[in-house]
Structure 1
Amino acid sequence: ETGIYGHEFAVLKTSCVSGGYFYPSESKRIHPKDINQAKVNPSKDAIIISRMNTPALVGECGYVNENYKYLFLPDRLWQTCFRRAAKINARWLAYILSFNSYSRKIKETATGTSGSMKNIAKEAFLNIGIPLPQESEQTAIATALSDVDALIQSMEKLIAKKRVIKQGAMQELLKPKEGWVVKKLGEVAEIKMGQSPSSLYYNSCCVGLPLVQGNADIVDRRTIIRNYTSQVTKSCNTGDIILSVRAPVGEVAIASFKACSGRGVCAISYSSLFLYYYLIFIEPQWEKYSTGSTFESVNSKVISSLEINIPSINEQTRIATILSDMDAEITALEAKLAKYKQIKQGMMQTLLTGRIRLI
């Protein structure tokens, strides 16, 4: 694609490398007046290193598996160039440099007075010691780990595909149809606005109930435990729908456990999961309640008067079953993905430290 400047040339962002992986899509088009300054392309079988970045990201690297003639490195990225006599498998080295113990050593060499930006000196980077098995063993290790990587990437693509399919199913199933009736949310569900307890009663000792204050207490549309409170003002039950009433308004989740609900959320009780999926479907509608300020919120009157389209009970059950089955399948695949990643970490721990030898 030629992009906004009428050419294909792009410069990589420092975010193009992470955890041993190279992401060529992390790039931006070069302004025509700067094209002559673009000199170095990502090359096949090389490693790109972020020499200047935030403290958390400085030293990140990624293996390049092909040539990219339209991409260029900025001055904040290095690319390896191996000596002819060096017997190095670049993919193996990328795994070593991204392995926790060596990645940490690289980051520790970074200097800079700014708390937001650090820089690695080339001499310091080149002086980092690494174990060096024979090239044949490097290749065997790289092959074993790349096979697991391929499995992980295949699973990630499958999960992404399943999510797209589910999104399409939601669009089709939840779009109002003939026979559906319009009701106000307060007419069909019980709505309980949250109320924050005093911070004096917050604790991490499991005293009282978990506290759900807002979006910080929600991950992947499920409530998580960050804090407890011994002063329970308002509560939500396991399975209740949790709706964010403060910025960003309208985000939807499910209560994973009984909790104290703070003022940033409300709890909605309904007889089936249909309403949970329907509220996700209409999440974009809440944007109209943004007043242009940096902090937006809605009250119980607005929530209760929200108009929703409701089918028959049987249809609600059918829709909820289809979508919850899809969710269950995705959750199972995510569990497999987590297991594959765990296996890879175990392999890196044994293979890259020499605890298990492949040759």
Structure 2
Amino acid sequence: MEVKAGYKQTEVGVVPEDWEVRPVGTMGDVRAGKALAARGAGQQRPYLRTKNVFDGRINLNDVLRMPMTEADFSRYRLRHGDVLLNEGQSLELVGRCAIYEDEYPEPCAIQNQLVRFRARVGVSAGFAAQLFRHCQKSGVFTRIALQTTSVAHLGVSRFHRLQLAWPPQEAEQDAIAEALSDADALIESLEQLLKKKRQLQQGAMQNLLTGKKRLPGFETNPGFKQTEVGAIPEDWEAKSLGDIGESLIGLTYKPTDVRSDGILVLRSSNIQEGSLCFDDNVFVDMEVPERIMVRVGDILICVRNGSRELIGKCALLDEHAKGMTFGAFMAVFRTPAYRFVHHQFQSAVLKRQIHEHLGATINQITNKSLNSFSIPLPRQKAEQEAIAEALSDMDGEIAALESQLKKARALKQGMLQEVLTGRIRLV
């Protein structure tokens, strides 16, 4: 393959001519931490281990201590700017790393579950951290790790010898690190905003779906009454699902009915994060009763699954699902109040009833059980619609943030491919 002018082919791929392919150990000091010695000599000192090092961040929720002599502590003590990598982890997480920036309030060391990279003069620790994070996520560390029965080991010597491409000037390394750090900051800010929005949504659901908070125009303050679903307003009702709609169990089909195209059978895998997903589809060529062909407004529910956590997950179907059916491990619930009821399926009220029904061993919800579940329901349809609209607006805000976050992550991934290979030069 022809190499563009100004670039060269190396053992790690095509890089700029002035970049160097060097072993990690020549760019900084590589060292494993201290072996755990609960009854050793010396003073009790704090140390970090794999539980403290996550992708791009240090977590100090669970910092342990062990005795260390002054000589040991001097050898394993952390400095600001040290890059810490998980030496022993699952294969996909081995090498997960972050920069230590004196987060702990007192001098701290590392245990031998971690490897420390201390950049030499002229090498940017920020660049090294971004380069190592890319190695972990792109499988470079997986390829050099030694797999034991349950843990993969990065290996100090293997990491020391690992050949990687490095810009020769620290200024360019710093520029790359800063650009990628800015992308990380955007991702983190979106993640935090999304977390806050989800917390607000959970609080709003709890209050609006039980009548603890009334929307403008419905603030009648009638008082509360105790029901089987808890305290609800006097002008609300506790209604069983069977009283306000019907549930239908899905299609039973044989392996010989499956085709490469035909009628799509919605299954548990087609519901992801409360929405329909079409990454894993099954099609059948057979007669399907009209009543189990899905309709706009159907609430698709997982009612049987090997995983208890998936029982009750659901999605509200729109026009994109027309012409589809659903499998026998699924159900649809049909009701005129589908928007309001769909939100109730996300509520603590229904989730608690589902959990109580499953008991110790049963991983399914029958039609009889589904119809027996009760929800708080405003008597006025207008209030049902207003609550559904308010919660749907919050869903929309969260979906927009999720889309922004997905784009920000894709942008960061694209930047990694360009700036860590020198295809785009920042200085």
The equivalences for 1:177-216 within 5 A come to 177-203=233-259, 205=260, 207-214=261-268, 216=269
Are the aligned partners of 1:197 and 1:231 in contact in 2 as well (CA < 8 Å)?
no
Aligned-pair CA distance for 1:41: 6.0
**Partner in structure 2 of residue 132 of structure 1:** 166
**Distance apart, 1:166 and its partner CA:** 1.1
Q: Shift of the alpha carbon at 1:100?
A: 5.3
Query: Does 2:117 match 1:80?
Result: yes
Change (3 A) 1:276 1:8: farther
Shift of 1:16: 2.9
Q: Structure 2 vs 1, CA of residues 23 and 231 (structure 1 numbering), >3 Å: closer, same or farther?
A: farther
Q: Tell me, in whole angstroms, the C-alpha distance in 2 between the residues paired with 1:22 and 1:310.
A: 45
Over 3 Å counting, the alpha-carbon distance change for 1:196 and 1:278 in structure 2 is same
Which whole-Å CA distance do the structure 2 matches of 1:211 and 1:113 have between them?
Answer: 41
Match of 2:275 in 1: 222
TM-score (norm: length of structure 2): 0.72
The separation in 2 between residues aligned to 1:100 and 1:201, in whole angstroms, is 45
- The aligned amino acid for 1:224 is C
From 187, 195, 198, give the equivalent of 1:152.
Answer: 187
Cα distance change on mapping 1:313 and 1:117 into 2, 3 Å = same
Q: Could you give the per-residue CA deviations for residues 191-239 of structure 1, whole angstroms, max 9, x where no partner exists?
A: 1112342233345x3x12333333x332111132212121565443344
Q: Render the CA deviation track for 1:73-116: whole Å, top value 9, x for unaligned.
A: 44222122234xx31111111111222598422221112353x4
Contact 2:299 2:334 in 1 (8 A): yes
Task: Write the mapping of 1:227-242 to structure 2, written as runs, cut at 5 A.
Answer: 227-231=281-285, 234-242=292-300
Q: Which structure: greater strand fraction?
A: 2
Within-5 A mapping of 1:277-292: 277-281=343-347, 282=349, 283-292=351-360
CA shift at 1:326, angstroms? 0.7
Deviation at 1:320, TM superposition (A): 0.6
Amino acid at match of 2:93: L
1:137 Cα offset (Å)? 0.7
Structure 1 residue ranges (4+ consecutive) displaced by more than 6 angstroms after TM superposition: none
* Map of 2:127 onto structure 1: 92
Shift of 1:319: 0.2
Q: 1:143 to 1:11 in 2, by over 3 A?
A: closer
Aligned counterparts of 2:52 and 2:334: Cα–Cα separation in 1: 42
Q: Does the aligned pair in 2 maintain the 1:11–1:29 contact within 8 Å?
A: yes
Instruction: Kindly indicate whether the alpha-carbon contact (under 8 Å) linking 1:229 and 1:260 is maintained by their aligned counterparts in 2.
Output: no
1:177: Cα distance to partner? 1.9
Match of 2:314 in 1: 252
Compared with structure 1, are the counterparts of its residues 109 and 268 closer, same or farther at alpha carbon in structure 2 (3 Å cutoff)? same
Going from structure 1 to structure 2, the CA distance change for 1:276 and 1:59 (only over 3 Å counts) comes to: same
Structure 1: runs of 5 or more not aligned: 1-6
Which structure: larger Rg? 2
- Percent of matched pairs sharing the same residue: 28
Gaps of 5+ in 2: 1-43, 211-231
Distance 1:72 1:304, change over 3 A: farther
Q: Which residue of 2 aligns with 1:333?
A: 401
Give the corresponding residue for 2:67: 36
- CA contact 1:222–1:253 (8 Å) conserved in 2: yes
Cross-structure match for 2:329:
264
**In 1, Cα distance between the equivalents of 2:234 and 2:78?**
56
Aligned residue for 1:236, secondary structure, equals coil
Question: Could you report, residue by residue, the CA deviation over 1:21-74 in whole angstroms, capped at 9, with x for unpaired residues?
Answer: 12415x5464xxx63279656643121112222221122222233332577644
SS at match of 1:250: coil
Please point out which of 171, 177, 181 is paired with 1:142: 177
What is the SS of the residue equivalent to 1:280? coil
Query: Could you tell me how far apart the structure 1 residues matched to 2:371 and 2:331 are?
Result: 11
Query: What is the number of equivalent residue pairs in this alignment?
Result: 340
Matched, 1:107 2:107: no
Instruction: Verify the 8 A CA contact 2:84 2:115 in the aligned structure 1.
Output: yes
Q: 1:62 aligns with which of 98, 102, 111?
A: 98
Structure 1 residue 142: Cα displacement: 1.0
What's the offset of the Cα at 1:189?
Answer: 1.5
Residues 66 and 10 (structure 1), Cα distance of their counterparts in 2 relative to 1, 3 Å cut: closer
SS in structure 2 opposite 1:253?
strand
Verify: 1:162 aligned to 2:197, yes or no.
Answer: yes
Residue 52 of structure 1 aligns to which amino acid in structure 2? G
Q: Which amino acid is 2:187 matched to?
A: I
Name the SS for the 2:248 alignment partner.
strand
**CA distance in structure 1 between the aligned counterparts of 2:255 and 2:86, rounded to whole angstroms:** 42
Map of 1:4 onto structure 2: none
CA distance in 1, matches of 2:368, 2:114: 54
What is the identity, as a one-letter code, of the residue corresponding to 1:310?
L
- More divergent stretch after superposition (256-265 vs 36-45): 36-45
Change (3 A) 1:274 1:9: farther
The question of whether the paired residues in 2 share the 8 Å contact of 1:58 and 1:107 is answered with yes
Q: Distance in 2 between matches of 1:197 and 1:239?
A: 24
Match among 258, 276, 279 for residue 342 of structure 2: 276
User: Cα distance 1:56–1:202, how it changes in 2: closer, same or farther (>3 A)?
Assistant: farther
| Alpha-carbon spacing, 1:41–1:236, altered in 2? closer, same or farther (3 Å) | farther
Task: Return closer, same or farther for 1:79/1:298 CA change in 2, 3 Å cut-off.
Answer: same
Q: Compute the displacement of 1:123 (Å).
A: 1.8
Matched to 2:130, the amino acid is: Y
